[in-house]
Structure 1
Amino acid sequence: MSSCLFVGLGCTVAAPSRLEQPRPHMTAPASSQPPGERAVIDARLVQQVAQGDKQAFAELYDRFSGPLFGTALRIVRDPGEAQDIVHDAFVTVWEKASTFEASRGTAFSWVVTLVRNRAIDHVRMRRRRAELLGDSFLSDLGYPADGAAPAGDASALLGDEARMVRTAVATLPPEQRRVLELAFFGGLTQEQIAGTLQEPLGTVKARIRRGLLKLRESLTHQL
């Protein structure tokens, strides 16, 4: 039995058991339609979504979710994260459908750009967290820094534990919390953080260093 995917829209729009196995379409499957016809139908569905049509939204999800999931998965290389990215992109579609302009491209190109940008941002922030936490932190948690572990382990760990990291960051003193939030979840460099907060770079580096020490202690006890 499928569960509600987009809670804010009510359970009219339900989650299929797998993104690769969507529900039956009201129109012919997108893959069986000529590209021109497909683009026209997609644009019409987006226009209907802009008017609050949940059935059109559900059909658009069925038509797009498979290839969008594949796009996200190729970038983030994690099925759960890829599904979250597709979900978030469709929330944006529901909220911003009225901004779509067919004269600037197809509906699919619009949505796939949303997914691709979100996925790239996700990877960028994951790498930024890895750079800040560093090999010594991963070693403390049992992930050797000598290359014995597969290269993807650090990214996988940080992706899986992102919620735990966010919770731990929230317990830090305000000044340390702010710089780590900008680094971990905003993907900013130390120089960019200094510019954003209008603080000396040395001050930002010191806050990050102190915050990471406390974060290591907190997460070492949890993981």
Structure 2
Amino acid sequence: MLSANTNISTNEEELVRLLKSKDRKGFALLYDRYSGALYGVILKIVKVEEVAQDVLQDSFVKIWKKIQSYDTTKGTLFTWILNIARNTAIDKTRSKAYKQQASVLDIDKGAAVAAASRGNKSKIDFIGVDKGVAQLKPEYQEAIDYIYFKGYTHSEAAEALELPLGTLKTRVRMAIQELRKLT
């Protein structure tokens, strides 16, 4: 993997320009800046470190291939890549191979979840997401937690929270708008 020079300070606009021009330095910067946070979210969804590493790699490949579709007017780069990583992790958990692996592996799920939570906390702290979410209204925090950190689909989260699907989607949208104001 390429290693970015950590002394380089690149703003998001410059990073997006580098990525869209398929500059490998931009990819290395993206990886250095966001891989820890994405890994934490992915691990919380898939719950197995080896699988999380594979999903992280798959996510970055998708980001690299789809970067031309990123639109700065629709949200931050982090939000866009987080959605790619989250969706890739959810797709993985729904795959037949993952389900077979999960049923064959004899793992202590309690320990895996606890380890994922400990590791995820520090990786999310890395970019300050936890501080931003903590400033949201409780119902927004809950919606973000289910969708982004627990890996639920909108339908699953609405059912778990006993909310109409439209209400949940509105809360997620409002939460994201509030988080944008904080950055």
| Change beyond 3 A, Cα 1:71–1:59 | same
Paired with 1:83 and 1:71, the residues of 2 have a C-alpha distance of 11
| Change beyond 3 A, Cα 1:122–1:23 | farther
Report the Cα offset of residue 96 of structure 1.
Answer: 1.7
Q: Which of 73, 78, 99 is the equivalent residue of 2:69? A: 99
CA RMSD of aligned residues (A): 3.1
Report the Cα offset of residue 128 of structure 1.
Answer: 7.4
What is the match of residue 163 of structure 1? none
Q: Which of 74, 85, 93 is the equivalent residue of 1:115? A: 85
What is the match of residue 85 of structure 1? 55
Please say if residues 49 and 97 of structure 1, whose CA atoms lie closer than 8 Å, have aligned partners that are also in contact: yes
| Change beyond 3 A, Cα 1:24–1:117 | same
Paired with 2:57 and 2:7, the residues of 1 have a C-alpha distance of 19
Paired with 1:111 and 1:25, the residues of 2 have a C-alpha distance of 23
What is the match of residue 161 of structure 1? none
Q: Which of 63, 66, 69 is the equivalent residue of 2:36? A: 66
Paired with 2:5 and 2:21, the residues of 1 have a C-alpha distance of 22
Q: Percent identity?
A: 31
Paired with 1:43 and 1:75, the residues of 2 have a C-alpha distance of 29
Please say if 1:44 is aligned against 2:26: no
Considering fraction of residues, name the structure with more helix. Answer: 2
Report the Cα offset of residue 62 of structure 1.
Answer: 0.6
Paired with 2:25 and 2:43, the residues of 1 have a C-alpha distance of 26
The residue identity in structure 2 corresponding to 1:82 is: A
Alignment length (residue pairs): 110
What is the correspondence of 1:169-180 to structure 2 with a 5 Å cutoff? Answer: none
**Structure 2: 5+ residue runs without aligned partners?**
110-183
Report the Cα offset of residue 44 of structure 1.
Answer: 2.6
Paired with 2:83 and 2:13, the residues of 1 have a C-alpha distance of 15
Paired with 2:59 and 2:75, the residues of 1 have a C-alpha distance of 17
Paired with 2:12 and 2:55, the residues of 1 have a C-alpha distance of 20
Structure whose CA Rg is larger: 1
- 1:52 is paired with a residue whose SS is coil
Please say if residues 57 and 94 of structure 1, whose CA atoms lie closer than 8 Å, have aligned partners that are also in contact: yes
Q: TM-score, normalised by structure 2?
A: 0.51
List structure 1 runs of 4+ shifted beyond 3 angstroms: 126-130, 149-152
What is the match of residue 159 of structure 1? none
Report the Cα offset of residue 91 of structure 1.
Answer: 1.2
